[in-house]
Amino acid sequence: MVTDERFLDHRRERSHPERPARLEAVWSGIEAAGVAEAIVGREPVPATDADLLRCHSAAQLNHLEELHASGGGQVDIDTYMGARSWEGARLAAGAGLVAVEALRQGEADVAFCAVRPPGHHATGTTSMGFCLVNNVAVTAASLAASGERVAVVDIDAHHGNGTQDIFYGDGRVLFVSLHQWPLYPGTGRIDETGEGDGAGTTLNMPLPAGAAGDTYRYGLDAVVVPAIERFDPAWLLVSAGFDGHRLDPLSNLGLTSGDFADLIARIVGLVPTGRCVMFLEGGYDLGALADSAGASLAAVVGVDHRPEPSSGEGPGCDVVDHVVELHGVGT
């Protein structure tokens, strides 16, 4: 696991859903799951300018640097920079690169970057949605630049518009997202499938409010598994947002911590050992976040820790069927 107490320094004086207590909840959930001894810790290293420029424009990065130099401020109505946020953002963006190197050296079977601020809403030109730079995209772009094929699976309740934007025309990176629709940021329609060299390498499953475990498991079996098998990536990156939990205040999905254990265990198993990196994205009910992160990390190391059982039926299977028909997966 790549994490650091310096991520707690990303904060502002007024309350905000994306707050330091989120990371503390993740740590406590992993401790409660009883798997801390099975986890190898690594410290993050800040992403370099070259790492960031593979995904983000110079103008965007210069704007963030200027905000940092002035002591922080609002990036947009939802997104802030505190006095030490830029340090945290660079560390978060570099965490995946550290994780990849650790996996290459055989230090672990799978990696989890417990970082903040999150990243998947940051596009190639705009920081938004609580995100300053796109952590998962920085790692994906680095791997792609070295000649590796990369799949990104995003299970956050909110569509990863930034990741999609960065790789929409890039055939080296497969992007698959299961998210609530309609919901912020308003992207992620079924017909957003990529363009140019990336045509067909974006798969969106915009699920209705109330979608629960059975719908997600069906989506994995019918779409995600065959899409990844067809793309045959060398690496799998996971935007592990836990805000699809039924108690989360910023979404209306029906998942439980048991569902996240099911989903993460299945997704991680889609690539060979030592080729999967997970990144913390959303999750804003602290108890649900702790339970979901703990259940997920336990599942990855083969421990059955379920503070809640998996959920059952919910709407959205018709959406999955539509995606299957559009992309020809599973046939």
Digit-coded pLDDT (tens) for 220-266: 999 999 999 999 999 999 999 999 999 999 999 999 999 999 999 99
Q: How confident is the model at residue 217 (pLDDT cuts 50, 70, 90)?
A: very high
pLDDT at 331 over 60: no
**For the chain, how are helix, strand and coil distributed in percent, rounded to 5?**
40, 15, 45
Name the architecture of domain 5-327. 3-Layer(aba) Sandwich (3.40)
Check whether 85 has a pLDDT greater than 90: yes
| Euclidean distance between CA atoms 42 and 175, whole angstroms | 27
pLDDT surpassing 90 at residue 120: yes
Q: Active-site positions?
A: 121
Whether 129 has a pLDDT exceeding 80, the answer reads yes
Per-residue model confidence (pLDDT) at position 329: 85
Question: Quick one: average pLDDT of 57-71?
Answer: 97
Q: In the prediction, which pLDDT does 35 show?
A: 94
Smallest CA-to-CA distance from 2 within 103, 83, 133, 73 is with: 103
Distance CA 199, CA 180 (A): 23
Residue-wise pLDDT for 137-177, tens only, equals 999 999 999 999 999 999 999 999 999 999 999 999 999 99
In the block, residue with structure tokens 């499953």: 205
> Which residue from 127, 130, 119 is spatially nearest to 240, judged by alpha carbons?
119
CA torsion sign for 194, 200, 202, 206 is positive
What does the alpha-carbon distance between residue 135 and residue 166 come to, in Å, rounded to a whole number? Answer: 12
User: What is the mean predicted confidence (pLDDT) over 104-132?
Assistant: 98
The overall average pLDDT reported for the chain is: 97
**Which uninterrupted H or E stretch holds 279?**
strand 276-280
- Band of residue 330 on the pLDDT scale cut at 50, 70, 90: low
pLDDT bucket at 36, cuts 50 / 70 / 90: confident
CA distances from 86 to 47, 67, 124, 256 (A): 11, 9, 17, 33
Please indicate, yes or no, whether the overall pTM of this predicted structure exceeds 0.75: yes
pLDDT band at 60 (very low <50, low <70, confident <90, very high): very high
Which residue type occupies 202?
T
If you search the block for the tokens 């518009």, which residue do you land on?
161
